[in-house]
Amino acid sequence: MAGFPVFLLSDFGTHDTYAAQMRSAILSFAGYDTPLADLTHHVPRGSVLEGAFHLRACLPFLPPGSVTLAVVDPGVGTERRGLAALWRERLVVCPDNGLISFLPPPVPLFQLPPPEPSSSSTFHGRDWFAPCAARLSVDPGWIDSMKPLEDPVLLRFPESLSGEGSISAAVIHVDSFGNAILSIESTREIPSGDMTIRWRGGSRPLVRVDCYQEAQPDEAAILRGSQGFWEIAFRGGSAGEILGLKAGEQIEMILEG
Residue with Cβ nearer a second copy (158 or 225):
225
Nearer to a second copy, 126 or 167 (CB): 126
- Binding mask 32-71 vs a second copy (x if CB under 8 A, - otherwise)? xx-xxxxxxxx--xx-------x--xx--xxx--------
Question: For residues 39 and 110, which CB has a smaller minimum distance to a second copy in the complex?
Answer: 39
Give the shortest CB-11-to-a second copy separation in angstroms: 9
Instruction: State yes or no: residue 114 binds a second copy (CB under 8 A).
Output: no
Strand locations in 186-233 (E): 195-199, 202-208, 221-224, 229-233
Q: Which is nearer to a second copy, 57 or 184 (CB)?
A: 57
> In terms of CB distance, is 35 or 168 closer to a second copy?
35
- Yes or no: say if 149 and 92 are a contact pair by the CB < 8 Å rule: no
Q: Is 2 in the site for a second copy (CB under 8 A)?
A: yes
Closest alpha carbon to 99 in 132, 74, 134: 74
Distance CA 174, CA 247 (A): 6
Interface with a second copy (CB under 8 A), residue from 116, 213, 217, 257: 213
Sign of the alpha-carbon torsion through 111, 116, 120, 126: negative
Give Cβ neighbours of residue 124 (< 8 Å, ≥ 6 apart): 71, 73, 76, 77, 82, 95, 115
DSSP 15: S
Closer by beta carbon to a second copy, 5 or else 152 = 5
* Positions in 115-154 near a second copy (CB under 8 A): 120-123, 126-127
CB of 202 to a second copy, least distance (A): 26
Contact pattern from residue 224 through residue 243 relative to a second copy, giving x for each residue in contact according to CB under 8 A and a dash for the rest: xxx---------x-------
CB 96 within 8 A of CB 82: yes
Phi, then psi, of 64 in degrees rounded to 5: -55, 140
CA atoms of 227 and 56, how far apart (whole Å)? 9
- The nearer residue to a second copy, 166 or 186, going by C-beta atoms, is 186
Return the bridge partners of 203, or none: 198
Does position 96 interact with a second copy (CB under 8 A)? The reply is: no
Sign of CA dihedral 19, 36, 63, 136: negative
**Positions 8 through 37 that interact with a second copy (CB under 8 A):** 9, 12-18, 20-21, 23-25, 27-28, 32-33, 35-37
User: How many C-beta atoms lie closer than 10 Å to residue 15's C-beta?
Assistant: 7
Q: Residues interacting with a second copy, by CB under 8 A?
A: 2, 4-5, 7, 9, 12-18, 20-21, 23-25, 27-28, 32-33, 35-42, 45-46, 54, 57-58, 61-63, 74-78, 120-123, 126-127, 175-177, 210-214, 223-226, 236
